[in-house]
Structure 1
Amino acid sequence: MTTPKPVTPRIQKMRQLVRDRIIQIDMERVRHVTESYKKNAKVPPIVKIPMATYDICSKMTCRVEDFEIIVGNIGTEFLGCGMWPEWDASWLWQELEDGSLWNMEEDGLYHRTDASGVHMTLHPADREEFMTYRDYWKDNTITSNMDHWAPDGSDEIIELGVTSYMTGMERAQIASGHLIPGFEKILQVGYGAIRKQAQDWMDDHKGNLMGEDLNRFLFYKSAVLVCDAATAMIKNYGKACLKKAEACTDQERKTELLQMSDSLEWISENPVRTFWEACQATILYQLLLYMEARHPALAFGRFDQYTWPYLEKDLEEGRLDPDQAQEIVDAFFLKSNCFYRASNPKVAAVTGIGVTYHHTTIGGVDPDTGEDSSNPVTFMVLDSMSRLMLHDPTISLRINKNTPDALWDKAIETTRLVGGLPLFQNDEVIIPSLMEELDFTLRDARDYGIIGCQEIVGSGNDYPCGNGLHGKAGLGSHGTILLCALNNGVNPMNGKSGGLETGYLYDMESFEEVKAAYKAQFDYLHKWSVTIQNYCEYQSMQHAPHAALSISIDGCMESGKDCTSGGAKYNSYGGTATGLATVADSLAAIKHLVFDEMICTARELYDAVMKDWEGFETLRQRALHDVPHYGNDDPYADDLMKWVCDIYYDNCKECYSTRSKYYKAGLYGASNHVIQGFGTWATPDGRKAGTPLADATSPAQGRDQNGPTAVFNSCCTIDHGKFMDGIALNLRIHPNALRSEESRISLREMTKTYFEKEGMEVQYNVVSADVMRAAQKEPEKYNDLVVRIAGYSAYFNELPTPMQNDVISRTENQII
């Protein structure tokens, strides 16, 4: 066991500011995007949006703090944030108009703090200015364009409550940028060369645009505009550093600022040369993308792989020593945490407080040789998470058969110190599955990364939309689908009909009839969900192109086509299934209680569920304790989980769109198992209405009683290689289990065995129920307690109580 070195004073100062975050909303981006949209109202969106990006980036405030070595801010304040009214800012307009949630405090700012933990402020002048933009954006948003019409019958499906955790359609509150941008291309090629490629094509075809040439011209025009936007923004940061240097009296800092200024000027157009430039250019490209759109989950990808060559050269030539390099990595991940945006608290309750979804992938194999490619930066990333006690970004460690024990040990120690990080991903399953399921080349499959919660994607060559177009359409409430199957197509939570009329449980004379009803209902409703996504895709191509993103993704510049229109080398989309173990356990309960043991009639079980088990407690206890549950290495329940997952996968294989022939199945979720649980009626497994569903591929809370090996065995009954949208398996480990060297080795070997059985992923929560209960009573004493929810980690005391209780309710495992 090693203790991380202390951080430098300036990193510690920045870390504390980030930890105490208060997001100050400002109007700068709103002002520039509104002025630009009004000025260019009749310009096609593929050009109008990059025009707005240029206006925003060339005029934005560029801050440089005294303690910063990596710069880039999404608002006018250090932890400030603009807004994206062209997508949807209606929640903020509504709250400000209501007035009850925002209170003026002594500092002269409006403050908003609620149970979600999102602490936001707003200056009175910004509030007044913001309200003046409301009328313009009321019917000019991308969201409103998609909401004006939808395929016939879709409203009925939405009202049923099976396609989203929110009410109403709201098809596009966010962009569909859920992927790994081409950071490596930005670092190696630079904006100047990308711009030249686009400008050269336009010059060669000036006055001679035939057929598809016009579409290509519009795309290349958009590319020139966003490259100019990036160059202007980065040059302005260089000027800000120079201005800071001129006023600086500390000679060492002055020299540092001057070097930063020179390097920023260089990377504004040219390829990077050093490790610092690589880290800084990555952050600033991320910033460019944020200025373009409200992208929800722009992952950093294989950070250790694309930055290590520059650090290796710096170390060899004496420009940096390891401690200096570690400080840069620390600064990089702290700056990443500054990109958390003002968010609708209802959405934040699902996606997490302070979660940027800058998922970072480390380790794995070399794309060309297939050999283990872990390097010193791999270890530095884990050190930063440990030193800084960060819950974000999520870190995925790619494991292969040659991963060194030293890296395993570092990862497990990080897991012990920072609960739930890193996630462990199995190269030996994922790489061949990418080739088989999605037709990736061997090299590109070896170069995969993880985004968002768990989605598996290509690095800088893939437009995957793994969580559905614009986020929400890919979210299916599988518990409600089961209830519709047992209740003749009616959701008992809201009384809405819209599913197939598959009959009532009490009329089903065999378990095969129950399964047939579920399959019919699932096939029908899931294809409706994909239909809505396909509609969103059609609208995206017209109203939401992503030029700043497209310039870095392999295939787009070559084809002259935006990523939203199929320009990327690889194209896919997909969704995520949460609560499948609840479905499997419910089917096991029906089979056991009604058909096998005949403990009750189908009518009695139906009545018990429909009455939320009120008056049926004895039967509920039988369902909870007598029925076999998934996660205990018992084929009775595990085979049903496999069947449910296969139904889902097989349906996904039948789905496709104009842009993509691949619709991927995923078994993960941010905290959807809790949020969807709020809106899901009681289920036959004994679960009460409104309580959490099972999380992803994990057993239902507390139902696994035979230890982690049994959970692994149950989970491996599912063919993980089919689920190329990603898999999440959460296991909670008591901290005492990792206090000895022997126990940490046992965890490593247990994980290896699981991976040898073709398990794809696992993430460990190393925290005791006693500690979490103590944190509920005295949160100020546990300020840095990090836990893994499902698709993200969080500071425990920033979680709403239902989510805290959900983590506490999970089985607490020991390692033998």
Structure 2
Amino acid sequence: MMEEQKKDIFTPWWTERNVPWRGNLFEGMILSEEDTGEKRIQKIRKGMLTRYKSGKRRLSFQWARSVTHSYMQTEGRHPAIRRALSIKKGLHEISIGLTEGQLLMGGASCGPHYVDFNPHFPALDFPRKGSCEELDRIYVYDKTELEAFQRDILPFWENKGRMDYFCMEMSENYQEAWKYLNDSQCYIPTVGGPLAHTIQDYKTVLQKGMLGVIADIREQIKSLDMTHPDGMKTLERRNQYEAMIIAGEAMIDYAQRNADYAQKLADAEPEDKRRTELVEMARICKKVPAYPAESWWEALQCFHFLRAATALIEGMDSHSAGRFDQYMLPWLQNDLENGTITRKKAQELLECLFLKWNESTAFTMGLGCPRGNNDKINISGMDELGRDCTNELSFMLLEAHAHVHLTDPALSVRVHHKTPEKLLICTLELLRLGGGLPLLLNDDAIVAGMTANCQVELKDARNYGDVGCQENVTDPNMTGADTSGRQNGGFFSLVKPIELALWNGINPQNGRQAGPKTGDVQSFLSMEAFMEAVGRQMEYAVEMNVIANNVNDYVFTAYYPSVWHNLMHPTPRRTGIDFVAGGAKYNWTGPLGIGLATAGDILAAVDTLIFKQKETAWPVLMEALKNNWTGYEALRQKCIQAPKYGCDDPYADNWSKRILDMWFSSLESYGTAHGGHFIGGLISMDSYITLGHQTGATPDGRRAGEHLSDSVAPSRYSDSRGITARHFSAARAIDTYHTTNGVTFNQRFSMTTVNTSRDIAKWADLVRTYMDAGGQQIQYLVVSAEDLKEAQKNPDEYRDLLVRVGGYSAVFVDLTKELQDSIMAREELAV
């Protein structure tokens, strides 16, 4: 009986999953099973796993109502002021809740495990009426509230969403690009959603307090000369500044409301220890973020308020804490040195922050894959002089993830030539627990790419942070240099321009003339002639994509000024220029290339079978593709056996490199609407499935509708030549000078292959070798095929089984079966 009671209070998740703990990280844990603080963490975590009705979250319309009512009352006001006033009303009216035992207040919704719908960024297929099948699959909601929302709130936003404005601008002013977008099926635009993928300036608010930041903005207003204005810019700046002040004051009001709520709970709390905690929480909320943080607890609470506000106001999607272990370290060290906190209490508070991060997640309606926020924390790396800056907080963050082990925050460990071996080994030990976190970044490759291709100053580049899946920007918490890089500029199929070249610009999926006429395929008497046609299709596709992305940015600035982002970034606060309108120090936009291996394998197959070995001819191959290989299985097998990317074959890898270089060259020649330029990334999320559905049969042996290759991993038709071959192929094919916008390289091991100290040491050597060869990023999922199969059969028993999908982690049993099957299809490799 005593054992059962103890298990209810604290049952390590790794014990229930039979994961053996061993190695450097776990021998030096700050919190152990016997610590009261860790019992608190595991009790809260256990309650979070079940959520509601087999993993669903509750959907709330509180924020939507407040924001909409504000907009109804502010017709005719400046767009930035309207947004700011809606933020003020929303933060003043939204409900406040607290999970039992939590030590931090506030959240990104109306309460723990709720998701608040943001009407500024509705999902594309949100059910206005009729069937709610997709909504039912992911959320629990009050049907009466939904009906009221559909009746009273949604009609106001009819034709006023960002997607509506984007479609209007494209169809009226850019008909050629609009037609290509609809006819080509070449890319999936990311429009209608929030402005995501940022690193905000938390440090300034921590040091000055929000009142200090507001005072600085008021000084900027005083400097405006309305008698000799700089054209309309001066008047525009005034509105942007006033909007920032309104948002900042709203944040202070929200914190005060949390203070009052904590005090109310304290007054009713019968247990002395918990009452003391609640009183302290109330005191802290009265202080931060209005005033500077002076303790570790205050700093964590201030950070959480700001992060949660970003998620609620600007959308819960891939914002990053940046170099958290660097700029938060002084508050930790000061408390430890003064003896005002124990190391165990400091760790407990940090793990409370991790738990808070998971209370509310992004509204995923229409995405088909429930996931977390994909918010990042970067660990370690080099400082601006190139020295290693691993510290005690770096290891505390690893331990926090080991204990909490939920989807957020996602951890990235920055690795370079001077990275301590202990940090790398501890990171790999943590990866052994499953879930695909942390991912590993190569400082040497990323810093070189940022300085060479993005013209980022060296000190700023060395202080980069990755956001979202793995896109890279400068961290304003370190040098004050911010980046407005709309990294998710849509998912661009690297395969579709090749397919269009095969069919003379006609999309075989719908029979429409989508691309330019580049010639009948039978006229291509050499591989170079065919590649010229591919190049023309690529250039046209990129040009159309660029137009769509610039229109998307215009819609942001014209209709939805980024008020909270402006407040939380140093350059907009100084200049009064909107964050998306060129208001940051660095500006770029980054589409994401999809299907790298598939594209390279197609070219290798055509060159090998038609031109080198003359195993077939164009008419036969095209007839086979037209019939989806039916009746041509022998030819299909020859195509499958042609050289493939991922086998450490320079010939095959160079075809992937060639299509990439073609894409990069075209993309980087264009400018963005906010004064920067375009850069590329290789991150797929689950878009390789969707774009595969929109692609016909291809010369690599792939059938129509099958998935494209995932991120930068080899295709399903690639022969297995071992883990080292895959790593070398990725390093050879990808010129990381051009991939500042990120790479996700997914690999899967079984637990048995990384089970000993020798295995871990070999694994560390593999990582070092890959990065020495120029590899930019790698993420490992350690899970057996048996566990994945069992999770499909018994989902309720695997609610804590995390997997890396593309560039984010998700609960495996919450994914669609198609996505689950795709992850299970990844080859299980050995070190």
Q: TM-score, with normalisation over the residues of structure 2?
A: 0.91
Partner of residue 308 from structure 1, selected from 318, 322, 329: 329
Corresponding residue of 1:106: none
Structure 1 SS opposite 2:779: strand
Q: Does 1:14 align with 2:44?
A: yes
Structure 2 SS opposite 1:483: helix
Q: Does 1:809 align with 2:830?
A: no
Q: Distance in 2 between matches of 1:778 and 1:246?
A: 44
Conservation of the 8 A alpha-carbon contact between 1:146 and 1:539: yes
Q: Does 1:664 align with 2:669?
A: no
Structure 1 SS opposite 2:472: strand
Post-superposition Cα deviations, 1:442-473, rounded to whole Å, max 9, x if no partner, equal: 221111001111101111333333434xxxx5
User: How much has 1:238 moved relative to structure 2?
Assistant: 1.1
Corresponding residue of 1:728: 744
Corresponding residue of 1:531: 547
Corresponding residue of 2:17: none
Corresponding residue of 2:712: 697
User: How much has 1:776 moved relative to structure 2?
Assistant: 2.5
Structure 1 SS opposite 2:133: coil
Partner of residue 685 from structure 1, selected from 679, 700, 710: 700
Partner of residue 130 from structure 2, selected from 98, 102, 119: 98
- Counterpart residue type for residue 9 of structure 1: K
- Counterpart residue type for residue 299 of structure 2: A
Partner of residue 157 from structure 1, selected from 177, 180, 202: 180
Q: What pairs with 1:170-569 in structure 2 (closer than 5 Å)? A: 172-203=191-222, 205=224, 208=227, 210=229, 211=231, 212-294=233-315, 296-344=317-365, 346-347=366-367, 349=368, 352-367=369-384, 369-460=385-476, 461-468=481-488, 473-569=489-585
Partner of residue 161 from structure 2, selected from 141, 164, 171: 141
Q: Distance in 2 between matches of 1:181 and 1:326?
A: 24
User: How much has 1:259 moved relative to structure 2?
Assistant: 1.2
Q: 1:751 to 1:459 in 2, by over 3 A?
A: same
User: How much has 1:577 moved relative to structure 2?
Assistant: 0.5
User: How much has 1:191 moved relative to structure 2?
Assistant: 0.9
Which deviates the most, 771-780 or 506-515? Answer: 771-780
User: How much has 1:638 moved relative to structure 2?
Assistant: 0.9
User: How much has 1:100 moved relative to structure 2?
Assistant: 5.5
Q: 1:101 to 1:510 in 2, by over 3 A?
A: same
Corresponding residue of 1:28: 62
User: How much has 1:129 moved relative to structure 2?
Assistant: 4.2
Residues matched between the structures, number: 787
Q: Distance in 2 between matches of 1:560 and 1:748?
A: 47
- What percentage of residue pairs aligned between the two structures are identical? 27
Structure 2 SS opposite 1:69: coil
User: How much has 1:575 moved relative to structure 2?
Assistant: 0.9
Q: Distance in 1 between matches of 2:523 and 2:599?
A: 20
Q: 1:590 to 1:42 in 2, by over 3 A?
A: same
User: How much has 1:130 moved relative to structure 2?
Assistant: 4.2
Q: Distance in 2 between matches of 1:671 and 1:160?
A: 21
User: How much has 1:523 moved relative to structure 2?
Assistant: 0.8
Conservation of the 8 A alpha-carbon contact between 1:453 and 1:669: no
Q: 1:387 to 1:65 in 2, by over 3 A?
A: closer
Structure 2 unaligned regions, length at least 5: 1-21
Which deviates the most, 772-781 or 25-34? Answer: 772-781
User: How much has 1:709 moved relative to structure 2?
Assistant: 1.5
Q: 1:400 to 1:459 in 2, by over 3 A?
A: same
Q: CA RMSD in A?
A: 2.0
Post-superposition Cα deviations, 1:202-259, rounded to whole Å, max 9, x if no partner, equal: 3454864623321221111111111111111111111111111111111111111111
Moved over 6 A (4+): none
Conservation of the 8 A alpha-carbon contact between 2:288 and 2:301: no
- Counterpart residue type for residue 678 of structure 2: Y
Conservation of the 8 A alpha-carbon contact between 2:362 and 2:372: no
Which deviates the most, 227-236 or 24-33? Answer: 24-33
Q: 1:503 to 1:424 in 2, by over 3 A?
A: same
Conservation of the 8 A alpha-carbon contact between 1:391 and 1:786: yes
- Counterpart residue type for residue 234 of structure 1: A
Q: Distance in 1 between matches of 2:797 and 2:659?
A: 43
Q: Distance in 2 between matches of 1:205 and 1:100?
A: 51
Partner of residue 83 from structure 1, selected from 78, 95, 117: 117
- Counterpart residue type for residue 107 of structure 2: N
Q: Distance in 2 between matches of 1:172 and 1:363?
A: 34
Conservation of the 8 A alpha-carbon contact between 2:66 and 2:86: yes
Q: Does 1:675 align with 2:690?
A: yes
Corresponding residue of 1:105: none
Q: Distance in 2 between matches of 1:162 and 1:393?
A: 33
User: How much has 1:567 moved relative to structure 2?
Assistant: 1.3
User: How much has 1:645 moved relative to structure 2?
Assistant: 1.1
Q: Distance in 2 between matches of 1:291 and 1:392?
A: 16
Q: Distance in 2 between matches of 1:231 and 1:326?
A: 27
Which deviates the most, 376-385 or 564-573? Answer: 376-385
Structure 1 SS opposite 2:236: helix
Conservation of the 8 A alpha-carbon contact between 1:702 and 1:811: no
User: How much has 1:538 moved relative to structure 2?
Assistant: 1.9
User: How much has 1:201 moved relative to structure 2?
Assistant: 3.1
Q: Distance in 2 between matches of 1:378 and 1:726?
A: 23
Corresponding residue of 1:719: 735
Conservation of the 8 A alpha-carbon contact between 1:242 and 1:258: yes
Which deviates the most, 238-247 or 794-803? Answer: 794-803
User: How much has 1:26 moved relative to structure 2?
Assistant: 2.0
- Counterpart residue type for residue 362 of structure 1: I
Q: Distance in 1 between matches of 2:239 and 2:746?
A: 46
Q: Distance in 1 between matches of 2:401 and 2:538?
A: 41
Q: Distance in 1 between matches of 2:655 and 2:337?
A: 57
- Counterpart residue type for residue 656 of structure 2: M
Q: Distance in 2 between matches of 1:91 and 1:713?
A: 41
Structure 1 SS opposite 2:388: coil
User: How much has 1:161 moved relative to structure 2?
Assistant: 3.9
Q: TM-score, with normalisation over the residues of structure 1?
A: 0.93
Corresponding residue of 1:108: none
- Counterpart residue type for residue 298 of structure 1: H
Conservation of the 8 A alpha-carbon contact between 1:25 and 1:75: no
